[in-house]
Amino acid sequence: MYIDLGAKQLLAAEQGSKKIAVEIKSFVSPSEMADLKDAIGGFIMYRAVIHRLQPERTLYLAVRDSVFTALFEEPIGTLLIETENLKLLVFNPETERIIQWIP
Can you give the residue ranges of every domain in the chain? 10-102
What amino acid occupies position 68? F
Q: Strand, coil or helix: what is 32?
A: helix
Q: Which residue has the higher pLDDT, 62 or 18?
A: 62
Please give the pLDDT value at position 15: 62
Percent of the chain scored above 90 by pLDDT?
67
CB 71 within 8 A of CB 36: yes
- pTM summary value: 0.84
- pLDDT, tens digit, 9 for 90 and up, residues 70-93: 999 999 999 999 999 999 999 999
Which residues 6+ apart lie within 8 Å of 65 measured at CB?
A: 90, 91, 92, 99
Alpha-helix residue ranges (DSSP H) falling in the chain: 32-53, 65-67, 75-83
Q: Output the furthest CA–CA distance in the chain (Å, rounded).
A: 40
Q: Say which CATH architecture domain 10-102 belongs to.
A: 3-Layer(aba) Sandwich (3.40)
